[in-house]
Amino acid sequence: MSIPENVQAVLAQVRQAAQEAGRSPEAVTLCAATKTQTDEAIRQAIAAGVTVCGENRVQELTAHLESGAYAGAQVHFIGHLQTNKVKQVVGHVDLIHSVDSERLLRAIDAQAGKLGLCQDILLEVNLAGEQSKGGVPPEALEPLARLAGELPGVRLRGLMAIPPISQNPGDNREYFSKLRQLFVDIKGKILDNQTKIDCLSMGMSGDYADAIAEGATLVRVGTALFGPRPPIRAFS
Ligand SMILES: *Cc1c(COP(=O)(O)O)cnc(C)c1O
């Protein structure tokens, strides 16, 4: 199948999953995970209806921004972000999904302050205690969320998680449900009127329908849109 056909099929499935969950189809946005993709592939996806692109690596983000490949779509940063690279990301993207430490949060705030803007962010939660992955443990979420609510250069918009790779359909429902509970909990506790905590980023090619059933507002889908990726050195 071609990229435009894949985009149409995934958008239809996203709408269907939302309807089956009794949710409005507009409540869920498809974020195309564009890592390793060419400018041309990204342009095709946007022409076919993708409205948000999610990039993992700073180098690829910068290259696609320079070439104008994202024209017509929002850009999100969804990969692991190193503190020394915030300059290339803050102010260049609409939303950073992967904030997972106080150090990174403060670095984003400082850079946003320099630029005189407020950066929308999500906090990434490590739900399964996987060493190999980023994200804060659920216990550490509340203090970080409170800090985010206090810093003038960041606007906390919600939560993100990357659960373990599922072996069977339905495997990750429990993680999605857990992230949704944390989301509701944080929304109730962080009462900064600046913040509009409305984003729940969860679900990938193999499990986005389950994530939508559990309340996802952003699903990050790569393979189902672009086909299998060539192996790369690092996931992030
Ligand atoms: C690559 C990636 C995705 C998409 O993964 P697929 O299984 O290809 O759909 C989603 N989120 C993040 C953070 C990714 O790096």
Q: For residue 11, how many C-alpha atoms fall within 13 Å in the half-sphere facing its CB?
A: 15
pLDDT digits (tens, 9 = 90+) for 34-83: 999 999 999 999 999 999 999 999 999 999 999 999 999 999 999 999 99
Q: In sequence order, which residues have a C-beta less than 8 Å from that of residue 205 and are 6 or more positions away?
A: 221, 222, 223, 224
pLDDT digits (tens, 9 = 90+) for 123-132: 999 999 998 8
Contact 49, 76 (CB under 8 A): no
pLDDT digits (tens, 9 = 90+) for 118-159: 999 999 999 999 988 999 999 999 999 999 999 999 999 999
**Would the CB of 216 count as within 6 Å of ligand 1?**
no
How many angstroms separate the alpha carbon of residue 138 from the centre of ligand 1? Answer: 21
Distance between CA atoms of 1 and 34, rounded to whole angstroms?
Answer: 17
In this structure, the residue with its CA closest to atom 11 of ligand 1 is 220
**Would the CB of 221 count as within 6 Å of ligand 1?**
yes
How many angstroms separate the alpha carbon of residue 137 from the centre of ligand 1? Answer: 20
